[in-house]
Structure 1
Amino acid sequence: MILHIATVNKFMVPFISLINNEFPDQDHEFWLSGARKLKSTPIERRKNIHFDKDTLGDRALSLIKLFLLMNRAEKIILHGLNRRVLNVLLVNPHLLKKCYWVIRGGDLYQYQSPKPKVSQKIKELKRSFIIKRLGHIVTYIPGDVELARKWYGATGKYHECLIYISNVVDFDIVPESPKIQNPDSKIKILLGNSADPSNNHIEALERLLPYKEHDIKIYCPLSYGDQSYAQKVIDSGHNHFGDKFVPLTSFLAFDKYVEFLKSIDIAIFNHHRQQAMGNTITLLAMGKRVFLRSDVTQWKMLENLGFTLGDSADITLRPFDNSKIYENSRIARENFSRRTLVRQLTKIFEE
Structure 2
Amino acid sequence: MSIENLVFLPDSPYTEWIIKRSENLFPGLNKYLVIVDDITKPTRFTNSDIAIIESKNLIKAPVLLDLSSFKRVIVNYHTPFIGHFLMGRKQDLSQAKLIWIIWSGDLYKHPSFLTKAYTSTTLAALPPEKTVQAWKQSFHHRVLQAIGKPNKYTFEKSFSNFDFVASIFEKDVEEAESVLGVKAKWIKFAFLSLQEMFSEEYLKNRPVLGRKIMVGHSGSPENNHLDVYHKIHHLLPENEVTIFSPLSYGNPTFISAVKSLGREYFGDNFETLEDFIPREKYYQKLAEASVAIFNHKIQQAFGNILGLIFMGVKVFLNPENPIYIELTNSKIKVFDYNQMTRDDLLNPLSPEDVENNRSTISLLFKEEQIRDYYRDLYIA
**TM-score (ref. length: structure 1):** 0.86
Residue in 1 aligned with 2:331? 306
Q: Shift in Å at residue 42 of structure 1?
A: 4.7
Cα RMSD over matched residues?
2.9
Q: Shift in Å at residue 69 of structure 1?
A: 6.3
Select 2:370's aligned residue among 335, 341, 344.
341
Residue in 1 aligned with 2:123? none
Q: Kindly tell me: are residues 350 and 332 of structure 1, through their superposed partners in 2, closer, same or farther at Cα, counting changes over 3 Å?
A: same
Select 1:6's aligned residue among 2, 6, 9.
9
* CA contact 1:162–1:168 (8 Å) conserved in 2: no
Select 2:284's aligned residue among 237, 259, 263.
259
Between 2-11 and 122-131, the greater mean CA deviation after superposition: 122-131
**Match of 1:89, as an amino acid?**
L
Say whether residues 1:76 and 2:101 are aligned partners: no
Residue in 2 aligned with 1:53? 54
Between 105-114 and 235-244, the greater mean CA deviation after superposition: 105-114
Residue in 2 aligned with 1:188? 212
**What SS does the corresponding residue of 1:205 show, helix, strand or coil?**
helix
Select 2:185's aligned residue among 157, 171, 177.
157
* CA contact 1:175–1:286 (8 Å) conserved in 2: yes
Select 1:142's aligned residue among 170, 187, 208.
170
* CA contact 2:333–2:353 (8 Å) conserved in 1: yes
Q: Kindly tell me: are residues 39 and 65 of structure 1, through their superposed partners in 2, closer, same or farther at Cα, counting changes over 3 Å?
A: same
Q: Kindly tell me: are residues 103 and 42 of structure 1, through their superposed partners in 2, closer, same or farther at Cα, counting changes over 3 Å?
A: closer
* CA contact 1:8–1:37 (8 Å) conserved in 2: no
Residue in 2 aligned with 1:233? 258
Between 289-298 and 119-128, the greater mean CA deviation after superposition: 119-128
Distance 1:157 1:341 in 2: 19
Between 250-259 and 89-98, the greater mean CA deviation after superposition: 89-98
Say whether residues 1:170 and 2:194 are aligned partners: no
Distance 2:40 2:187 in 1: 31
Q: Kindly tell me: are residues 341 and 349 of structure 1, through their superposed partners in 2, closer, same or farther at Cα, counting changes over 3 Å?
A: same
Q: Shift in Å at residue 271 of structure 1?
A: 0.9
* CA contact 2:83–2:159 (8 Å) conserved in 1: no
* CA contact 2:101–2:167 (8 Å) conserved in 1: yes
**Match of 1:91, as an amino acid?**
G
**What stretches of structure 1 of length at least 5 have no aligned partner?**
none
**What SS does the corresponding residue of 1:225 show, helix, strand or coil?**
coil
**What SS does the corresponding residue of 2:299 show, helix, strand or coil?**
coil
Residue in 2 aligned with 1:63? 60
Q: Percent identity?
A: 21
**Match of 2:211, as an amino acid?**
I
Q: Kindly tell me: are residues 346 and 235 of structure 1, through their superposed partners in 2, closer, same or farther at Cα, counting changes over 3 Å?
A: same
**What stretches of structure 2 of length at least 5 have no aligned partner?**
116-133, 146-150
Q: Deviations over 1:41-67 (max 9, x none)?
A: 552232x3011135xxxx548733353
* CA contact 2:76–2:100 (8 Å) conserved in 1: yes
**What SS does the corresponding residue of 2:214 show, helix, strand or coil?**
strand
**Aligned residue-pair number:** 341
Say whether residues 1:34 and 2:19 are aligned partners: no
* CA contact 1:4–1:30 (8 Å) conserved in 2: yes
Residue in 1 aligned with 2:157? 129
* CA contact 1:148–1:154 (8 Å) conserved in 2: yes
Q: Shift in Å at residue 102 of structure 1?
A: 0.7
